[in-house]
Amino acid sequence: MARKLEKMKITVGTGLTAKDYFFRSPNVYDAINAETGVNKAASTDRDEPETTVGQLLATGKVQRVHVTYEELGKRKTGKILMADNLPIDGVIGKLYNGDGIGGGGTITSARVPRRAFFS
């Protein structure tokens, strides 16, 4: 079964300098939206222009984080996006919806990758 891509919104910055970016992603952010700054876009935002993940990463205000989580006793990995002003270790111990359709588990570690990824 393929993952369903949903329109997501990430808010970068605070106060008057806050900016919203929209992108398509599986909804793996349900339980970690406060820690990552990523939320499912409201229906009123459906006409807002979308950016690619590569463009988001190029702004320097969003970072890709690799997470390790346990699902049914097995260790698995995944990737999430986070606003750069939020602490990475805030997601540890939170629930991660690994495949976007119901699987997942508790995040045991989070790190910024050493190798550059541009997509």
Evaluate whether residue 118 is within a structural domain: no
Higher pLDDT among residues 102 and 25, named by residue: 25
- pLDDT tens readout for residues 46-94: 788 888 888 888 888 888 999 999 888 889 888 888 988 888 989 999 9
97 belongs to a structural domain: yes
User: How much is the CA Rg of the chain, to the nearest whole Å?
Assistant: 14
Residue 99 belongs to some domain of the structure: yes
Number of structural domains, the chain?
Answer: 1
Instruction: Grade residue 19 by pLDDT with cuts at 50, 70 and 90.
Output: confident
79 within 8 A of 68, measured Cβ to Cβ: no
Percent of the chain with pLDDT over 90: 8
User: Given pLDDT bands bounded at 50, 70 and 90, which one contains residue 119?
Assistant: low
Tell whether pTM > 0.75: yes
Which structural domain, as residue segments, surrounds residue 98? 5-111
Is position 78 within any domain?
A: yes
CA dihedral of 18, 19, 23, 28, whole degrees rounded to 10: 0
Sheet holding 38-40, edge to edge: 19-26, 5-12, 38-40
In a domain? residue 117: no
In a domain, 29, yes or no: yes
